[in-house]
Amino acid sequence: MSRPNKRMRFWFDTEFIDNKHTIELISIGMVSENGRTYYGVSNECDLTKADSWVQQHVLTHLPDKSSWKSRAQIREDITLFIGNNSPEFWVYNGAYDWVVFCQLFGHIRDLPKGYPWYSNDLKQLWYVLGRPQLPEQKTDAHHALHDAEWNKSAWNYLMMLWEQRYGELPF
């Protein structure tokens, strides 16, 4: 595949508690273009505020509490995970994911130098391509790392469709 830009792609997904006013990070999973993965679970989210949907679909997938980390640690981990690469972020239906990601750093303007101030949304790409059937996710949905891995496979699939149709990749 030709490559119009030199940024390194990162697919990510988050789980969070949404109380209709704010969103609070529970977990984040990230996959890099060269196949590395990161998974972090916050120890600062008040899980007693989780509604029954989050309890049932998200909390059941969390690992043992001993592996949970502070938000500052997760921020540092992600900064190291991305390293010196100029990242290109991809999410799926990810308006909330993008905000909760930025909030790890503070304001959006606190993102490290070189990070774009937006994420690309697979859902938008899916819509533009005529809403094709996407690959089935065979792992646990609503586990942030499994979802991030699915995002990457869905991206690969959509890029294949794009290339078949238009010959050249837009990204």
Binding residues with Mg ion: total (CB under 5 A): 3
Tokens matching residue 66:
């001993």
Q: How far is the CB of 109 from Mg ion (least distance, A)?
A: 26
Q: Is the dihedral of CA 125, 91, 20, 59 positive or negative?
A: positive
Nearer to Mg ion, 138 or 165 (CB): 138
d(CA 31, CA 119): 14
Contact status, residue 39 vs residue 31, Cβ threshold 8 Å? no
- Side-chain-side CA neighbours of 51 within 13 Å: the count stands at 9
Q: Counting contacts by CB under 5 A, is residue 13 touching Mg ion?
A: yes
Which residues ranging from 117 to 146 are in contact with Mg ion (CB under 5 A)? 142
Binding residue for Mg ion (CB under 5 A) from 39, 147, 158, 162?
147
| 24 near Mg ion (CB under 5 A) | no
Indicate the residue among 24 and 147 with the shorter CB distance to Mg ion. 147
- Distance of closest approach, residue 151 Cβ to Mg ion, in angstroms: 9
Can you say how many angstroms the Cα of residue 80 is from the centroid of all Cα atoms in its chain?
Answer: 16
Q: Which residues of this chain interact with Mg ion, rule CB under 5 A?
A: 13, 142, 147
